[in-house]
Amino acid sequence: MRTRSSSLLLILPALVLLAAVFLYPLLRYGWLSFHASSVLTGLVPVPNGGANWGRLLDDVRFWTDAGQTLRFAICSVALELLGGLALALLLHRPLRGRGPLRALTLLPWALPTTVMALGWRWILNDPHGPLNAAIRSLGGSSYGFLSTPATTWFFVVLADVWKTMPFVALLLLAGLQTIPVDLEEALRLEGASRLQILRRLTLPLLVPYITLAVLFRLAQALGVFDLIQVLTGGGPAGSTESLALYAYLNAMRFLDFGYASTVMLATFLLLLVPLGGGWLLLRRAGLERTTERAA
């Protein structure tokens, strides 16, 4: 009993801090989502029952954004995983100049998102950006890459993949380095090809790291805000708007804090499904690993 209460005492400061930073805002959102709090109420919260939640269910923009956010997250995380895996396998091989190469691949990740998004916006600028200049010099005519939904969407995903693929690669590289070399040698002696070694040995042993990378990236991609805010502002015609951006617009542009809280809380609840599932998966993989070490 005594150890229990004293250990509680020891983690109390951390608990208080966590509660202040995470629990309080969450509860506050919950509370606000049952109030009208906008310019119309003079920013004073007035209870309005479940009106916000009712509005949310009928809000086409919210559900469109949810679909767009999900599509963005799935596409970019899938591409990052494939590209990151290829990059990690490449960097894992004993190449000359591997050290500098590793540092170099990490650069895009080290760049602040806002800076990198501004860079992409300039590259894609119609008609002054370097991409259009290149097209014109080849005899084509300028194209408004950020004016049509399809190309805009493509470049948003591309920019995200470009920036975060190194992170995935780094995580997977760390995983690759935990695999003892003699496992691969043993399988080589059995006559396995490179591809067979990858499929039968490397990838299965990399699963915990892949799960971790996907989980990290999924959490970030589903909450994407800065990249879209700077690169497209959600446009054209809201075709790249994400849930986080919509919540932001509700609060900061429409000054409707009650509804913004509802959107944010709903987003949080929606994200909980894939992230919670992934976390459970990871915990199981992690548990298995720790028991293996203990044995």
Distance in angstroms (rounded) separating the CA atoms of residues 241 and 64: 9
Task: Single out the residue of 195, 197, 219 nearest to residue 282, CA to CA.
Answer: 219
42 lies in the binding site for another protein (CB under 8 A) = no
Task: Single out the residue of 24, 82, 30 nearest to residue 261, CA to CA.
Answer: 30
Distance in angstroms (rounded) separating the CA atoms of residues 205 and 74: 23
Query: Please, what is the minimum distance in Å from the beta carbon of residue 136 to another protein?
Result: 52
Which residues, listed in sequence order, are joined to residue 36 by a DSSP beta bridge?
46
Q: Interacting stretch for another protein, rule CB under 8 A, among 23-31, 71-79, 100-108, 190-198?
A: 190-198
Q: Identify which of residues 126 and 185 has a Cβ nearer to another protein in the complex.
A: 185
Residues 285/211, Cβ–Cβ less than 8 Å: yes
Query: Please, what is the minimum distance in Å from the beta carbon of residue 102 to another protein?
Result: 23
Q: Identify which of residues 186 and 252 has a Cβ nearer to another protein in the complex.
A: 186
Distance in angstroms (rounded) separating the CA atoms of residues 114 and 239: 20
Show the beta-strand stretches assigned E in the chain: 35-36, 46-47
Query: Please, what is the minimum distance in Å from the beta carbon of residue 198 to another protein?
Result: 12
Query: Please, what is the minimum distance in Å from the beta carbon of residue 98 to another protein?
Result: 17
Residues 284/265, Cβ–Cβ less than 8 Å: no
Q: Interacting stretch for another protein, rule CB under 8 A, among 100-108, 180-188, 241-249, 258-266?
A: 180-188
Q: Identify which of residues 17 and 95 has a Cβ nearer to another protein in the complex.
A: 95
Q: Identify which of residues 201 and 219 has a Cβ nearer to another protein in the complex.
A: 201
287 lies in the binding site for another protein (CB under 8 A) = no
293 lies in the binding site for another protein (CB under 8 A) = yes
185 lies in the binding site for another protein (CB under 8 A) = yes
Q: Identify which of residues 114 and 178 has a Cβ nearer to another protein in the complex.
A: 178
Concatenate the DSSP letters of all residues of 87-126 into one string: HHHHHHS--TTHHHHHHHHHHHHHS-HHHHHHHHHHHT-T
Q: Identify which of residues 58 and 292 has a Cβ nearer to another protein in the complex.
A: 292
Q: Identify which of residues 97 and 191 has a Cβ nearer to another protein in the complex.
A: 191
Q: How many CB atoms lie within 10 A of CB 126?
A: 13
Figure out which of the listed residues 108, 188, 239, 278 binds another protein, where binding follows CB under 8 A: 188
Query: Please, what is the minimum distance in Å from the beta carbon of residue 97 to another protein?
Result: 17
Rule CB under 8 A: which of 191-210 touch another protein? 191-193, 196, 200-201, 204-205
281 lies in the binding site for another protein (CB under 8 A) = no
SS3 190: coil
Residues 168/81, Cβ–Cβ less than 8 Å: yes
97 lies in the binding site for another protein (CB under 8 A) = no
Bond from prior residue into 236 cis (ω within 30 degrees of 0): yes
Residues constituting the chain:
295
- Rg of the Cα atoms in the chain: 24
Rule CB under 8 A: which of 226-245 touch another protein? none
291 lies in the binding site for another protein (CB under 8 A) = yes
Binding site for another protein (CB under 8 A): 180, 182-183, 185-193, 196, 200-201, 204-205, 291-293, 295
